[in-house]
Amino acid sequence: MNWSFMAQNAHFFVNAAYVTVFISFFGVVFAILIGVVCAALEVSHVPILSPVTRGYIELSRNTPLLVQLYFLYFGLPKLGISWSAQTCAVVGLAFLGGSYMAEAMRGGLEAVPRIQRESARVLGFSPRQTLTHIILPQALSSAIPGVVANVIFLVKESSVVSAIALADVMYVTKDLMGISYDTYESLALLIITYLIILLPISVIGTVLERRFDYARR
Amino acid sequence: MTDGQENRLEAGRESAGTLGPTGSARSMEPLRSSGTTDPEGRTGVGQRSVLEVEHLVKQYPGADVPVLNDISFRIPKGKVFVVLGPSGSGKSTLLRTIAGLEPIQGGRILLDGRTVESGDASKGVRAPRGNRVSGTRSTDLRTRIGMVFQSYDLFPNKTVLDNVTMAPVLVQKRSRDEARKEALELLDRVGLADRKDAWPNELSGGQRQRVAICRALILHPEIMLFDEVTAALDPEMVREVLQVILELADQGLTMMIVTHEMAFARGIADHIVLLDRGSLVEESDDPERFFTDPATERARQFLSTFTYERRRGDGVGEQAHQAGQGNV
């Protein structure tokens, strides 16, 4: 192991990590927003919109992110829409993550037992009160593990954006390997970088799961 | 926790007798033993009915036969009305229609002489609107009928105290302090004041059901519906819940109880009915008589399922299934 090589080139990974974190963060935020809207549409059985939502979810989760990014980066310009690589990366992650988030949140909503709704009704709660005080908090509790897993998944998937020439950590690693042939050290730096980004997310996720786990508390 | 909580608890204990949901100021009496009648001698004929059900028909869409067929009865104020019957006879559905959780296809349900729900048989079976339950009842109307379910229905995302105070604060717009005070008094009455900050999942099944009873009582319903509230409990927890219900009966709360606990039914009932395949097959104002000498063969048969006897050598096949021993 060439330690001095690793020490000399670590700063490339710091800059690249900003890119990875930046696109992951916005990708995840938009994915969650899309997920909330889609989950709500799915469980409420709105005519037209609910089937459209279903179609989006199936399209999104049954096509590879790489293909989605190629479409956004190389395909859309042919239709006259040119986005920066960064925009394409965020949109791609949100498009993919949206369906995963929607499914996790739908699962949470459907996990709330029917009797909870009925108890609230017998107590005189309005549908809105039932939703905000009973259904949503409990749905959140069951959805958190899935949502956290999706966040981690999306951050890792962001490595694919190197394919559209965005200088994330994966891109920098490939560059470094090509220039130096220190493959082993470069990949070690890459792994360390991902762990530094992802371990805190993992820990926060576990804390959130515990905090909102009404069933075990 | 506010200051003076201890005082409130103390006050709650002293004034427990005034907490009866019907406003009865009778002081809390010791638990009544099974089988005795109320010392106050609940009057029967001529008293106003809290709940009246007339020719109720309930049929699910697509079903050939109704779940409930032409059910009629009335429950006078302060009376305990017990519904017995085998599984699938429609007992729970009956309670659910009265609570407004299921639309009805025929007949009427009256609360205090006012129609709260009616079904038109000529219109046939209405298709349910989405996943919703019939949504015609006003909030006020819904809070006047309290219900406790078989399975644990406490809100797991709220503490015991919040479970009890939520409805009075959110629905009846009562002040938080006042709701809290009454909740603590009620919890104290069922022996759970010290668990007020616990989460539902930290409680035993029997404790949860007692909290559920408090949660319904705090709204001061005119009638309480109990849907097999001990069916999911371990045997040793059954008693702690049933004793609470017995106390409520003694305080003059009008109740409709679906149960499989025969000894409890016998001890608490003022009026007892047997439901079988959606119809009332026997009604009795004399629970003791119902259990020892039922009028119908169906009732005899039903009660015999609660007795166990061995076939001894002599009199093979001569099974003495005495319904009178249905006091399990």
Of B142, B153, B199, which is closest to A124 when you measure between CB atoms?
B142
How many C-beta atoms surround the C-beta of residue B235 within 10 A? 7
Question: Has residue B322 got a pLDDT over 90?
Answer: no
Q: Using a CB-CB distance cutoff of 8 angstroms, which residues of chain B are in contact with residue A213?
A: none
Residues in Cβ contact with A125 at an 8 Å cutoff, skipping those fewer than 6 apart: A133, A134, B167, B170, B171
Helix (H, G, I), strand (E, B) or coil at B67: coil
pLDDT of the residue at B97:
92
pLDDT of the residue at A29:
97
Shortest Cα distance, chain B CAs vs residue A134, angstroms: 7
Q: Using a CB-CB distance cutoff of 8 angstroms, which residues of chain B are in contact with residue A118?
A: 101, 133, 149, 153
What is the domain-level CATH number for residue A114? 1.10.3720.10
Total domains present in chain A = 1
B236: confidence class by pLDDT, cuts 50, 70, 90: confident
Question: Has residue B306 got a pLDDT over 90?
Answer: no
pLDDT of the residue at B248:
93
Q: Using a CB-CB distance cutoff of 8 angstroms, which residues of chain A are in contact with residue B145?
A: 122
Shortest Cα distance, chain B CAs vs residue A199, angstroms: 28
Q: Using a CB-CB distance cutoff of 8 angstroms, which residues of chain B are in contact with residue A217?
A: 199, 201-202
Mean pLDDT (whole number) for B191-212: 93
Question: Has residue B34 got a pLDDT over 90?
Answer: no
Q: Which residue of A has its CA nearest to B203?
A: A217
Query: Which pair of tokens denotes residue A58?
Result: 């199936």
Task: Please give the residue that has the higher pLDDT: either B152 or A128.
Answer: A128
Q: Using a CB-CB distance cutoff of 8 angstroms, which residues of chain A are in contact with residue B153?
A: 115-116, 118-119
pLDDT of the residue at B64:
86
- Looking at residue B148, what DSSP letter applies? E
Q: Where are the alpha helices (DSSP H) in A79-182?
A: 85-110, 114-122, 127-129, 136-157, 169-180
Nearest of B189, B140, B204, B197 to residue B163 by alpha carbon: B197
Mean pLDDT (whole number) for A122-144: 91
Size of interface A-B (CB pairs under 8 A): 72
pLDDT of the residue at B17:
38
Query: Which pair of tokens denotes residue B107?
Result: 């007949």
Calculate ∠ Cα A167-A160-A154, nearest 5°: 110
Q: Is the ipTM of this complex over 0.95?
A: no
Yes or no: say if A192 and A43 are a contact pair by the CB < 8 Å rule: no
Shortest Cα distance, chain B CAs vs residue A131, angstroms: 12
**Treating both helix axes as pointing N-terminal to C-terminal, what angle do A136-157 and A85-110 enclose, rounded to 10 degrees?**
150
Helix (H, G, I), strand (E, B) or coil at B283: strand
Shortest Cα distance, chain A CAs vs residue B306, angstroms: 29
B45: confidence class by pLDDT, cuts 50, 70, 90: very low
Contact call for B219 and A123, based on CB within 8 A: yes
Mean pLDDT (whole number) for B306-320: 64
Instruction: Report the mean per-residue pLDDT for chain B.
Output: 79
Shortest Cα distance, chain B CAs vs residue A46, angstroms: 11
Question: Has residue A89 got a pLDDT over 90?
Answer: yes
Mean pLDDT (whole number) for A157-167: 89
The amino acid that residue A156 corresponds to is K
Question: Has residue B39 got a pLDDT over 70?
Answer: no
- Please write the tens of the pLDDT for every residue from B241-275: 999 999 999 999 999 999 988 889 999 999 999 99
Question: Has residue B215 got a pLDDT over 90?
Answer: yes
How many C-beta atoms surround the C-beta of residue A135 within 10 A? 20
Domain B47-125+136-309+320-325 class, CATH top level? alpha beta
Residue A210 contacts B where some CB pair is shorter than 8 Å: no
Mean pLDDT (whole number) for B222-232: 91
Q: Which residue of B has its CA nearest to A215?
A: B201
Question: Has residue B134 got a pLDDT over 50?
Answer: no
Instruction: Report the mean per-residue pLDDT for chain A.
Output: 91
pLDDT of the residue at A7:
83
Mean pLDDT (whole number) for A9-17: 88
Q: Is residue A216 part of a domain?
A: no
Query: Which pair of tokens denotes residue B284?
Result: 């009795």
B137: confidence class by pLDDT, cuts 50, 70, 90: confident
pLDDT of the residue at B315:
52
pLDDT of the residue at B31:
38
Instruction: From residue A54, give the alpha-carbon distance in Å to each of A45, A59, A91, A143, B130.
Output: 11, 9, 19, 19, 19
Phi, psi of B257 (to 5 degrees): -125, 125
Q: Is residue A65 part of a domain?
A: yes
User: Which residues in chain B belong to E strands, given as ranges?
Assistant: 49-58, 68-76, 80-84, 106-111, 114-119, 145-148, 223-227, 254-258, 271-276, 279-284
Question: Has residue A216 got a pLDDT over 80?
Answer: no
Among A64-78, B111-125, B140-154, which range has the highest average pLDDT?
A64-78
Helix (H, G, I), strand (E, B) or coil at B30: coil
Yes or no: say if B201 and A215 are a contact pair by the CB < 8 Å rule: yes
Task: Please give the residue that has the higher pLDDT: either B31 or B75.
Answer: B75
Any idea which of A38-52, B136-150, B171-185 has the lowest mean pLDDT?
A: B136-150
Question: Has residue B87 got a pLDDT over 60?
Answer: yes
Task: Please give the residue that has the higher pLDDT: either B5 or B222.
Answer: B222
Question: Has residue B2 got a pLDDT over 50?
Answer: no
Residue A116: domain span: 3-211
With pLDDT > 90 as the criterion, what percentage of chain A qualifies? 66
Q: Is residue A148 part of a domain?
A: yes
Domain spans in chain B, listed from the N-terminal domain onward: 47-125+136-309+320-325
**Between β-strands B254-258 and B279-284, what pairing exists: parallel, antiparallel or unpaired?**
unpaired
- Please write the tens of the pLDDT for every residue from B270-304: 999 999 999 999 999 988 889 888 888 899 889 88
Nearest of B150, B166, B159 to residue B216 by alpha carbon: B166
Residues on chain B bordering chain A, Cβ-to-Cβ distance under 8 angstroms: 99-101, 130, 133, 139-140, 142-143, 145-147, 149, 151, 153-158, 166-167, 170-172, 199-202, 215-216, 219
